[in-house]
Structure 1
Amino acid sequence: MQLARIPHWIQPAFHLSVVGNLTPSTGLMPFPIPEFSHDVELTLQEANGRYAKDGSVLVIPIGMKTDILDTLADSMSKISPYPERQHYENVAKALVEKHPSLKEPGSGKGWYGWFHSLKFKLGNYRQKLSAAGCPEVEVLKKDSDHQQIDELMSATFSKRRKEIVGDQPLIGDVIARWPAMFCERQVRAEFKRVVSIDLLESFLDGLDDPAPRLLEVYEAATKSAKKPALKAILDCLKKDDTNERRRIAALLGLPHYLREEPSDIIRMCDAHGETLAAAMEGMQLGLLIGYEGDNQDAFPREVFNVAVVVEETAVLHNFKDVPSSFAMLLGIIYCDNLEYPRAMKYSFEFLQRVVMKIKPDQASARVHGIRNKLLRYNL
């Protein structure tokens, strides 16, 4: 009897190719770096020659870096759309070994930035494949029995809350203990168990109501020229005024209006220009908003990837819009019983009391004041 051939996308990822093909003696086999476009290959050939002579590395144009990452992401996704950390490292190492002119100056390993850029790029690439109906992505998505996980997380809710609230563990310990909780589906489910409302719907619906009046309040506050950061945020809407960007402006402008300092909580970074570790350095709680290419504005026109960061760790990522990411950040705060960051405590309180309408009667004087001002603008 002849056995039916197993479709290649159902086989375990480490059987598919050298990206995850483990050998007892050497571990991961080197990843075969594909050929890039003709122009990129010519540039690399010349740059590698200069590196061999004097050790100089290439200053990589944005377009060239995008070409390299797109090609690598395409090759990796054909092997497995869900590579693990060691696979990203393997590809990044192989890249700078074949093209040493691509090494990062001042970096001991020389490939760490490529490692993080690949993670960002493949997440975006995977989303495009899924939207196009790629079977590898669709089948792998179904591997997890979401209903079973939902039931188990619900059954262990009481025990989990007792541990998190009572013991106040570090975020790394929570991730190790309850790894299933750190995805959008489970954050929303856990938030609903804690607060009894839907996280994303309540946040976005609650934001759309005061957002137009918030922007009017911001506009009035900038006329005295005392809030340049707030004005820079509003100026972004003059270039591209969409509902999505108005939501972003309302959220990012809030701490500036409330005289708070958001720089250690809300950060922007070039997804290909710096390492994730460097971008998250010193972040105890917040959002890291990644963009591609040059960005001179207060916030990027197109968001590449947003990560929720806790204790310098990206606990959630691959969000493509800022408002939903804010909602997920609030969800993580509730799920892990975290305190609002002191530098933005009034902004988060506003989101809780006014946007989400959670215990609105317990608002502080400052939040109560802005809420009353919004009501006057509504008259």
Structure 2
Amino acid sequence: MEGKRRMIEVEMLKKDLDHQRIEELMSATFSKRRKEIVGDQPLIGDVMTRWPAMFCERQVRAEFKRIVSTDLLESFLNGLDDLVPRLLEVFEAVTKSGKKPALKAILDCVKKDNTNERRRTAALLGLPHYLSEDPSDIIRMCDAHGESLAAAMKGMQLGLLIGYEGDNQDAFPEVFDVAVVVEENIVLHNFKDVPSSFTMLLGIIYCVNLEYPRAMKYSFEFLQKVVMKIKPDEASARVHGVRNKLLRYKL
């Protein structure tokens, strides 16, 4: 097993990666990797050093499927698309009384540009506000050509760093690059939209056995149990209530 792990390190140093070979080696070393990650709970930097192949979109999806037997991207985006219309409607309803101004600002962005990607983004970024959670330490915006990455990531234990270009006047700007951050380390980047980066964030949480951040625990639980339908019967009363409200809601 250790020999195969070292072979992965060698493969990852090559200019032209042999993805099939890496896939076979990652599959063969799965039990060793899970024993290390779940049993020893190493720092993310140590995981990245020992298992460098895991920190690319292809292997995050593969590892997630090994753990959950579900296709990460397909399950997330299909489940999200089924709920986006009702989510945006309940968001709109709760803001009509003047409550949750941050949520209203997000909805205003969709009114300016009502594309499917923007609707998905609004649903994801609006969810913690709807659930009365504070996403500020988990979802951060930064000027791609302004502040340094170190400053932008300071204190981030887990989340998304959304880089934008130009003047940011909206609740969510045009995306330049999104990075997944763990323990102030960028573990994945070069995502050009929020939905796919959210998907990879969930994948990383599973791959390196992380707990959901307390400040957004209900939002992540909703994504897991309602959007992706993973262990839906174990939903908390709060998430179960939101799910029932969405099922009853008439568009």
For residues 155 and 15 of structure 2, what CA distance do their matches in structure 1 show? 37
For residues 330 and 144 of structure 1, what CA distance do their matches in structure 2 show? 25
Secondary structure of 1:269's counterpart equals: strand
After TM superposition, what 4+ stretches of structure 1 lie above 3 angstroms from structure 2? none
Corresponding residue to 1:186 among 30, 46, 59? 59
Corresponding residue to 2:198 among 299, 307, 326? 326
Q: Percent identity?
A: 88
Secondary structure of 1:357's counterpart equals: coil
For residues 255 and 335 of structure 1, what CA distance do their matches in structure 2 show? 23
- Counterpart of 1:286 in structure 2 is 159
For residues 287 and 148 of structure 1, what CA distance do their matches in structure 2 show? 30
- Counterpart of 2:77 in structure 1 is 204
| Cα deviation, residue 142, structure 1 | 7.3
| Cα deviation, residue 295, structure 1 | 0.8
- Counterpart of 2:241 in structure 1 is 369
Per-residue CA distance 1:207-247 (angstroms, 9 max, x = gap): 00011100000000101212000000000011111110000
- Counterpart of 2:4 in structure 1 is none
For residues 192 and 73 of structure 2, what CA distance do their matches in structure 1 show? 14
How is 1:12-51 mapped onto 2 (pairs within 5 angstroms)?
none
Secondary structure of 1:288's counterpart equals: strand
- Counterpart of 2:223 in structure 1 is 351
Corresponding residue to 1:338 among 206, 210, 219? 210
- Counterpart of 1:71 in structure 2 is none
2:27 matched to 1:154? yes
Q: Which amino acid aligns with 1:225?
A: G
Q: Specify every segment of 5 or more residues in structure 2 that has no aligned partner in the other structure, as ranges.
A: 1-13
Larger radius of gyration: 1
Corresponding residue to 1:177 among 50, 59, 70? 50
Q: Which amino acid aligns with 2:186?
A: A
Secondary structure of 2:70's counterpart equals: coil
Secondary structure of 2:161's counterpart equals: strand
For residues 309 and 319 of structure 1, what CA distance do their matches in structure 2 show? 13
TM (normalized to structure 2)? Answer: 0.93
Q: Which amino acid aligns with 1:168?
A: Q
- Counterpart of 1:19 in structure 2 is none
How is 1:1-379 mapped onto 2 (pairs within 5 angstroms)?
143-300=16-173, 302-378=174-250
Q: Which amino acid aligns with 1:180?
A: A
| Cα deviation, residue 155, structure 1 | 0.3
For residues 378 and 167 of structure 1, what CA distance do their matches in structure 2 show? 48
RMSD (Å) for aligned C-alpha atoms? 1.3
Q: Which amino acid aligns with 1:242?
A: T
| Cα deviation, residue 378, structure 1 | 4.4
For residues 107 and 154 of structure 2, what CA distance do their matches in structure 1 show? 28
- Counterpart of 1:96 in structure 2 is none
Per-residue CA distance 1:236-280 (angstroms, 9 max, x = gap): 011111110000000000000000000000011110011001000
Secondary structure of 1:210's counterpart equals: helix
For residues 42 and 162 of structure 2, what CA distance do their matches in structure 1 show? 26
Q: Which amino acid aligns with 1:143?
A: D
Q: Which amino acid aligns with 2:139?
A: I
Secondary structure of 1:304's counterpart equals: strand
| Cα deviation, residue 201, structure 1 | 0.9
For residues 206 and 239 of structure 1, what CA distance do their matches in structure 2 show? 25
Secondary structure of 1:202's counterpart equals: helix
Higher relative CO (Cα under 8 Å, sequence separation at least 6) belongs to 2
